[in-house]
Structure 1
């Protein structure tokens, strides 16, 4: 069978690891449901939701063009999770960005910047005195 992203299939769980579950799509093809694609919300233990031998309905969310590995999701087939019903936080309709496009700090490792941050914090404390 020629698999494509977006296809919805039924498979059988053949193995479970802490990071995800392997699913047999046919006799020769296997895919992986990453633990984050198991269901909406946090999943502490994937074995609480999936068991070896279980039939599952999955959607193909990615196929690595070099290795042919197939990424699957059960979560994408669920009803969208409604965060507004889980607690008293305000449900925002617009996208939030937690970065500043004008800040040119990049992704340098923390240990390369920690000394500068500590010095800056200590200088700020001294100025407040």
Structure 2
């Protein structure tokens, strides 16, 4: 019996791991319910939700290379409009007009410093950092003349 993607089937939990649970499906095939597909809420330990031998209803999410991905939370029928218990991020309060104004104002930004000024400041800072680094490395290596024997 071939199991179709999108179908709901009854299965028996045959094994539990830290990343999910293996479920024996009709026809003798086995699929995996990943920990993220066990429940709508956060699942820290699969053992808190399932036990070996449990009969559960699962939905077939995908089947690739003989591996069947299953979901318990997608097998649960919900009324239309109701989503999972995870709270959705609220929509942003900014309007489209304010976003376009921000973009336009950033495009008109004029730097007070010229490119040459920025480059000379960068080179000065780089030289200072390199000299400090060389000084610190020299101190750690014993400095001034190296090792004496």
Please give the TM-score of this superposition, normalised by the length of structure 2: 0.53
In the TM superposition, what whole-angstrom CA distance separates every residue of 1:23-73 from its partner, at most 9, and x where no partner exists?
A: 000352000000000011211000000110000000000101xx2110000
Aligned residues: 88
4+ residue runs over 4 A deviation: none
Aligned equivalents of 2:43, 2:22: Cα separation in 1: 16
Structure with greater helix percent? 2
Secondary structure of the 2:74 match is: helix
Based on CA coordinates, which of the two structures has the bigger radius of gyration? 2
> Which residue of structure 2 lines up, in the alignment, with residue 72 of structure 1?
70
> Which residue of structure 1 lines up, in the alignment, with residue 91 of structure 2?
92
CA RMSD of aligned residues (A): 2.1
Name stretches of at least 5 consecutive residues in structure 1 with no aligned partner: 94-122, 124-129
The alpha-carbon distance between structure 1 residues 9 and 91, as it changes in their structure 2 partners (threshold 3 A), is same
Tell me, yes or no, if the aligned pair for 1:83 and 1:91 is still in contact at 8 Å.
Answer: no
**RCO higher in 1 or 2 (8 Å CA, sep ≥ 6)?**
1
Please give the TM-score of this superposition, normalised by the length of structure 1: 0.61
